[in-house]
Each structure stands twice: as C-alpha cells, then as structure tokens.
Amino acid sequence: MTTLPTSKTAIVTGAASGIGAATALLLARQGMHVVLADIQSDLLEQSLQKCLSEGLSAKAFLTDVSDPESVKALADFTEQAFGEIHLSFNNAGVAMHGVPMAQMSLRDWQWVIDVNIKSIVHSIHHILPRMRQHGQAAHFINTASIGGLQVNPNWLTGAYSMTKYAVVAMSEGLRNELADSHVTVSVLCPGAVDSDFGSAVSRPPRLGGPTNRPEQAFLAQTLSTVGVSPEFVARRIWQAIQNKEFFIFTDSAMKSVIEERHQSILTGFEMADAFKTQLDR
C-alpha cells in the first residue's frame, strides 16, 4: 500500500513531455491533485489538457526551474491551488552529449548546471521545507540518470554525467538528513527512455535561447530504438513510491558497467593499502 494518501498534492517538473508528462498523468489517475510545471508552454498545455480530458484534478504552471524565483512561485501557486504539498517530483533536465568537455562553450556549461543541478537546489530550498512543515507523509523524488553512476565513453557524456552525479549525491545527503522524518527521498536513475530528451529548444534566453545541438542528434534515434516508454517509467516510479525505494532503476542494462566502475574503485583502495604496506617494511 502506498504511504501517500492519493487525495494529496504533487508537483511534477519537466511535465510537458516524456517521463514528466507520463508521471503527472499517472499520479492524477491515482487520485492526486497534480501541478504540471515546465518551461515549454504549448507542450505543457497539451499535457494538462490530457489530464483534464479524463476529469482529473490538475493545473499547469509555466516554470523555469533554473530560476529560483520561478520555483518559489511554483510552490506558492501549488499551495494556493491545492493546499499542502506531499510529493515533489523534481524531474526537469537537459541533455549535454556528443561534445568533449574542453570544446563546450561556457554558456552550455551554465545551462546544464543551472537546469540539472540548481533546479534541485531550488526545490530543496523552496519546496522541501513546506513538505516538512505539515508533518504528513511526503515524498521528494529527484531525477538523476544511469549516467549519474557511470560515464559513457561512447556518448561523450562527461558534463551531463557530472550534473547527474551531483543529483545522486544531493539525494543521498537528503536521505541521510531526513531519515527520521516523514519525508521519503528517492532518486530516479533511468536508462534509455523513448522521449525528446535530446531537444535544446527549451533553453531560456538568459542562458542562450533555443538552439539545435546536432552533436547529440544520435540520441533521438538511439532512444527510440532501445528506450522504454515514459509510461513504463511512470509505472515504475509509482511502484517505488509504494515501496519507499531510494534508487529507482528502470532496467539493469548498465549493471555490469557500474560493477566494473566500482571494482576499479576497490582496486584503487587495494593499491593504497599495498603502498602503505611497502612503506611500513
């Protein structure tokens, strides 16, 4: 049984498409009041209308998660619309694949950091305290990536993975800090998902405005070929909410790669021990 009463309120960022849109719809179908948030107004309205067409309780709020004041306004709007916030799915994110880090512009660095990392910081600052204050069961979910646990050498994901490692670290820290509270923390680490994740049309003007990134055009074809559906991910998230899971994976395709990475870390410790033993002789 879920720990969240289904009549309670959820915020979903990145809700205009993909995982966010599918999860917002599923949460609303489960009886929650859902505020869909995104920077893409037309697609956000389409996602909202899909919920409303089924008679579900949902509203939309145009949000730039890279702007702290926009996230604060989202929290204020949600409380005014539906009352206390019980679930925050901090899902908005952008891709940054296909370009070596040394060749990236500073504007691209700023964009991927502001959206993928600072958006979580903004939710921690403006949404989480409200969830803690009401004292009821609540769930704080951050979207990282399987790229937050390893760096794909074939996709040039160094900058992207850096941001997702940060999301995993923040989530682990929150889990520690909130262990004795009524707020459960989870981190979603999806593998390939069939979505428009590689699009760069949503970049706000202050971070360079909409753009095309032909270097990551391969993402669309790859994700459409091997990715699971956003609806599958949404169902997986709902199961994880019920089970109070911390790490939420969508498949085990990268398990061996992550095991290999962890083994290299253990080897590093063994080398340190061997060095110390040699010096002690």
Q: How far is CA 162 from CA 105, 113, 266, in A?
A: 16, 9, 21
Residue written as token pair 């370009």: 99
Residue written as token pair 């398990």: 255
Helix-helix angle 158-177:119-126, to 10 degrees:
20
The residue from 61, 77, 160, 197 that is catalytic is: 160
* 160 a catalytic residue: yes
Helix-helix angle 41-53:18-29, to 10 degrees:
20
Angstrom distance (rounded) from CA 89 to CA 14: 9
Q: What are the backbone angles phi and psi of residue 24, rounded to the nearest 5°?
A: -60, -45
Beta strand segments in the chain, E: 9-13, 33-38, 58-62, 85-90, 138-143, 183-189, 247-249
Q: What are the backbone angles phi and psi of residue 110, rounded to the nearest 5°?
A: -65, -40
Angstrom distance (rounded) from CA 140 to CA 280: 48
Q: What are the backbone angles phi and psi of residue 109, rounded to the nearest 5°?
A: -60, -45
- Please identify every residue annotated as catalytic: 160
